[in-house]
């Protein structure tokens, strides 16, 4: 059951970003799709760490929503950190060459 939830969440995130690109009229590039997949995978890993997939009856709905949004926020922060790290490393290695 957990694997199904993981895949359904992944596809839900991916298709919601696709729909947002359609509604806001911007072109999907490979960089955007890679960023979408990275955020979705990061969210899945963070959601597992924070136990976001436990039973909805086990806790309060407010706490579960807060946990899910916290995991998404952490995934986006992780993506931004990695982006800054890779950009700084790329500029550093360009200076060395």
Question: What's the structural domain count of the chain?
Answer: 1
- pLDDT, residue 55, reads 58
Q: What is the mean pLDDT of the chain?
A: 73
28-70 tens-digit pLDDT: 777 777 777 777 777 777 766 666 666 556 667 787 778 778 8
- Residue numbers of the domain that contains 49: 2-96
pLDDT at 12: 74
pLDDT tops 80 at residue 88: yes
Whole-angstrom distance, CA of residue 43 vs CA of residue 76: 8
Task: Report the predicted TM-score, pTM, of the whole model to 2 decimal places.
Answer: 0.47
Angle (CA) 51 43 78, round 5°? 115
């Amino acid at each position: 059951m957990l694997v199904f939830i993981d895949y359904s969440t992944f596809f839900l995130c991916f298709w919601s970003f696709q729909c947002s690109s359609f509604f806001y009229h911007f072109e999907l590039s490979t960089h955007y799709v890679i960023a979408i997949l990275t955020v979705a995978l990061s969210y899945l890993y963070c959601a597992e760490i924070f136990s976001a997939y436990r039973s909805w009856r086990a806790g309060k709905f407010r706490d579960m929503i807060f946990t899910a949004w916290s995991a998404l926020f952490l995934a986006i922060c992780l993506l931004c950190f990695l982006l800054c790290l890779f950009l700084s490393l790329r500029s550093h290695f360009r200076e060395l060459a």
